[in-house]
Structure 1
Amino acid sequence: MSAIVFDKRGQQAWITLNRPQAKNMINGEMFLDLADAWQEVREDDDIRVAVLTAAGDEDFCCGGDLAEVIPLWTGAKQPQTQAEERLLADPLITDKIMLKAPPLYKPVIAAINGRALGGGTELLQATDIRIAAEHAQFSLPEPKVGVVPGAGSMVRLARQLPWAHAMKILLGGELVGASEALIMGLVSEVVTQGELLARAEHYADNVCRQAPLALQAVKRTALETHTLPWADAFQFEMEQAAHVMMSKDAREGPRAFKEKREPQFRGE
């Protein structure tokens, strides 16, 4: 059974973490498969949006499978497979699966089907629209075992949430339920388990109706200007806007509106 299910549905890439028997924890195989999945989303011009979810009804992702990956990284275990050799040979593998380097400017939707603990909560911070099942829970418990959430949370969370909410998650290590996560702004929407995938599909369909170059420019600008001085940020924004305005899609949109039809955006 593959650790990741990659399902291309027209212009959508549905990525499913597929280790429900192991709480969808990220083991070596999932590290590699997820990195490859993000790269395919990045390079395939036909893909306009990615949806990230997980198998099962209890766990989205309960962090890294440390019993498998830590012995490799510390040298306590020698690589025995080609996958393990590749895992050791790529020091940036964590950055790749957490979309830190290189970044992904296409929209990413998360359908959170259960607990997201440790690395699971860190992975969610790399997504844009987050729909949670009402029984979902979130936590960064790393300090309880003497380590830190170093896959992006110490930087991302305080930029994505108000300070006090971010610090409650980072310093408290306690479980945060879906309703509280919604109030904090950690997730976009809370629905029943039965509604979860349909709502994710709704958002993905909506993204696909919009101009892909415009959406990527919006996300790129939001990410790249987050800590820039205002003047530099506005300059970057104007450059992105000018680039989009020169596209064929920017001419197609007004033309379709005038002709009272749905625009046919091609990402050109």
Structure 2
Amino acid sequence: MGAGELNPAAAVAELTGLTPTGVHPLADHVFEVDTEDGDLVVAKYDPRQGAVDAEVAGLRWLAEPGAVAVPDVRAHDDRWLIMEQIEPSAPSTVAAEDLGRRIADLHAAGAPAYGASTGPEQAWIGLAPMRCVPSPEWAHWYVTDRIAPYLRNAADRQLIDRDGVSTIETLCGRIDVPHEPPARLHGDLWSGNVVWARQAWLIDPAAHGGHRETDLAMLALFGCPHLDRVIAAYDEHRPLADGWQARVPLHQLFPLLVHTVLFGSGYARQAVAAAQAALRA
């Protein structure tokens, strides 16, 4: 399209009609763009097929219940996403407790099925492809659509040894969790996708229907400011099922396998350790 390969100013001008006055890189292919009217927007470039459509659909689906704060989508095409800019500040315990309650309400808004989304069937989690096909039963869906594809990829590339594969496959045959209806998940809720301001904002979703404990387990995986306050407020607002703490490694297995296929065998060791912990639970 005419908005320019990696030309965020041209993309903002063409897609929004605003006049850019400055561009500041924020991350790889992500830019903050100043505009003539004093506004600030974020321009994100992603040429992968369906990636922008999936993110736009996810942001709008998460915003729909009015539970969590997500950036407003200003404009997009098949490569560029133009969003509201959020000015970050230091995380606070008040914002953390508010986030816990808001995530609980987001989850309670529900989804039509596990794996369901409002975006394309072929979606993404970070840089990895992710299938979004509805399923009526959580454990089977979690194994077939969230564990098996990444385990197979890692095994084929010899990132996980045979013993590790066997451990994870053993766990897949023994999954037993309390039944809960499909929750509306952010889907990639690690701490880097939380922008702290007066309230916490959620960005970069891989939104789909799933088990609510998965979002919380992912939030704990790489550390999150005031995580204890987030979880306590969530649990007080909408109590978690008994034994949820013991199931954290089971839910962390999915993002650890995704990281294995993206970043290598160091994460494979963590994935096997999570499977071993889940088998002991």
TM score, norm. by length of structure 2: 0.27
Q: RCO higher in 1 or 2 (8 Å CA, sep ≥ 6)?
A: 2
Q: TM-score, normalised by structure 1?
A: 0.28
